[in-house]
Amino acid sequence: MAHSRSAEKRHRQSLKRRARNRPVRSAARTHVTKALGLIEAGTLPEAEAAVREALSVLDQAQKKGVIHANSAARRKSRLMVRYNAAVAAAAVAEAEAAAIAEAEAARPPEEPVKAPRRRLGRKAAEKAPAPSAKVPAAAKARAAAKAPAAAKAPAAKKPPAAAKGRARATKAPAKKKKEGKGK
């Protein structure tokens, strides 16, 4: 409790100021939180209106002396950075969607899927050639060219003795002592 009349008066004044400032500070916080929520949700038209309102409320709080001018400026700046980033991200997403739609429109139409072939009877299947048996001559030539090269590959060399975990035959060179001041 205050010990002097002036201290008692200061306490009464601080309580009155607190009662006057609290709703303004709370309203500013509420508007900023609402604007951030709308930005995160991605509803940009509603977010724009909420950001404008939040900026106005922050300016009023700063004008009344409820919050410091630098604090109001910092909060407004951070809010605008978030909003502008969301607008830019939406523009990029919209441009990507337009590019994809344009690419889809420019792509030639796909050929219709052919109906599956009818299964042949046992006798007809024996006469028909297997579909996988048709290998182009060029592919056969490439396979034949690769086969001898793989057979001529050199065998892997054995690792040196040091790599097997044996101790080194020589000692490491001794480190030179640093020459310092008198020590």
pLDDT at 181: 65
- What is the pTM (predicted TM-score) of this model? 0.54
Q: How far apart are CA 74 and CA 126, in angstroms?
A: 83
If one counts every other C-beta atom within 10 angstroms of the C-beta of residue 133, the result is 6
Residue 135 in this model has a pLDDT that exceeds 90: no
CB-based burial label for 160 (10 Å; 0-12, 13-18, 19+)? exposed
Domains in the chain, ordered, with CATH? 11-106 (1.20.58.110)
Residue 92 in this model has a pLDDT that exceeds 90: yes
pLDDT tens digits for range 2-58: 899 999 999 999 999 999 999 999 999 999 999 999 999 989 999 999 999 999 999
Residue of 5, 89, 75 whose CA lies nearest to 44: 89
Query: 116 vs 109, 124, 128, 133, 175, CA distance in Å?
Result: 21, 17, 16, 19, 79
